[in-house]
Structure 1
Amino acid sequence: MDLTTLLIIASAITILVTAFIEVVKRTTKIAARYLPITSIVVGIFVAIIVTPFADYDYYTMVVAGAIAGLSACGLFDLTKVAKEDK
């Protein structure tokens, strides 16, 4: 397993995590400070669910899910900064 494959998997999972976190933000009253932790947990959870359909082991998918969660939370922070700049 090389790093490129891991990042490709994480990029695909990031889209799902970002969409799910947006749904959570709009439907619940979760505090903004808990969203990064939630996105990491959701990323790992999605990766575990997708593992039977992938050709990779659980460890690889969990790492990819954690990277996806971190990417999604960074994307959330980026949009928050972009809104403040306007």
Structure 2
Amino acid sequence: MDLTFLLVIAASIAIFVAAAIEVVKRTTNLPTRYLPITSIVVGIFVAIIVTPFSEYDYYTMVVAGAVAGLSACGLFDLTKISKDDSKW
């Protein structure tokens, strides 16, 4: 297993995780401090669901899901920072 494949899987799952977290933010009253944990859990959940359709084992997909959750959380923070810097 090459690290490149893990990052490709995580990048593809991160799109779904970011969309799911946006839905959670808009539909629930969840405090923003719990969103990173929620994104990791959603990433792992999506990776477990996708595992039967891939050629990788559960451990690899769980790690890819956790990386995808962290990536989606960082992507959200990056867009928030860029919106704050736009007033320059």
**Structure 2 length-normalised TM:** 0.95
Specify every segment of 5 or more residues in structure 1 that has no aligned partner in the other structure, as ranges.
Answer: none
Residues 23-38 of structure 1: pairs in structure 2 closer than 5 A: 23-38=23-38
What CA deviation, in whole Å up to 9, does each residue of 1:3-58 have, x standing for no partner?
01000000000000000000111111111111000000000000000001100000
Q: Which amino acid aligns with 1:69?
A: G
Residues 45-64 of structure 1: pairs in structure 2 closer than 5 A: 45-64=45-64
**Structure 1 length-normalised TM:** 0.97
Runs of 4+ aligned residues of structure 1 deviating over 6 Å after TM superposition are: none
In structure 2, how many angstroms separate the alpha carbons of the residues matched to 1:53 and 1:43? Answer: 16
Alignment RMSD: 0.6
Corresponding position of 1:3: 3
In structure 2, how many angstroms separate the alpha carbons of the residues matched to 1:69 and 1:77? Answer: 12
Specify every segment of 5 or more residues in structure 2 that has no aligned partner in the other structure, as ranges.
Answer: none
How many residues are matched? 86
